Amino acid sequence: MIYCDPLSYFTPRTSNMNSVIRTLFFLSAFAPAVVLTAAAQVYKSGGSLQAYGWIGAGALACVFPFLVIKAGESQAQLLAFTAKKVESQDWLLVVFIVSYFIPLVSNLENLQVLALVAVVAAVLLATLDAIPCHPMLHVFRYRFYKVEGANGMVYTLISRRKLLSAADIKMVRQLSPQLLLEG
């Protein structure tokens, strides 16, 4: 019998987050908007199998970033890291949170249109190396920082604690070329 760790799918052995995982990470950032829109549709027009399906799928997608973090903690190698500068990127969450209310304000009736917009946005954004601040991670007190390493590279760092200076960062796990998880 061959054993396969289910979390190994989320962090390939190369420790680089591949484009499929990055796309899913972006999509999961929009998952709360899908849940909100479907719940509003249930409230306005009553429940339907389709609306409940969207609520369930959106709720499952909200869990995805935690699987990525869990896999990174268990499988990515711990590396020493020296930072020159660090600055909070939590302000970027405002963009995502505002986008959650667009479907409600625009009175969107068709959930497939929302899904199509989210998929197109995620595919376009996933072609970039940037990783968004994820609202679901922020709810559970993960913080996002822009960090400049001693080598001059700029990274996005996910941390469970508030960082006050670059000297606070000692060890990291590299999830992708530009995404670090504080160790």
Q: What is the pLDDT of residues 133-181, one digit of tens each?
A: 778 888 888 888 989 998 888 888 899 998 888 888 999 998 877 788 8
Q: How confident is the model at residue 37 (pLDDT cuts 50, 70, 90)?
A: confident
- Order the strands of the 143-149 sheet from edge to edge: 78-80, 171-174, 179-182, 154-159, 143-149, 83-88
Q: How confident is the model at residue 41 (pLDDT cuts 50, 70, 90)?
A: confident
Phi (first) and psi of residue 156, to 5 degrees? -100, 130
H-state helical runs in the chain: 19-45, 49-75, 93-105, 111-126, 135-139
Task: Give the predicted TM-score (pTM) of the model.
Answer: 0.70
Judged against a pLDDT cut of 80, whether residue 16 lies above it is answered with no
- How far apart are the C-alpha atoms of 165 and 40, rounded to whole Å? 42
Q: Which of 22-26, 110-114, 150-154 has the highest mean pLDDT?
A: 150-154
Residue-level pLDDT at 52: 92
Phi (first) and psi of residue 101, to 5 degrees? -90, -10
Residue-level pLDDT at 108: 61
- How far apart are the C-alpha atoms of 163 and 144, rounded to whole Å? 10
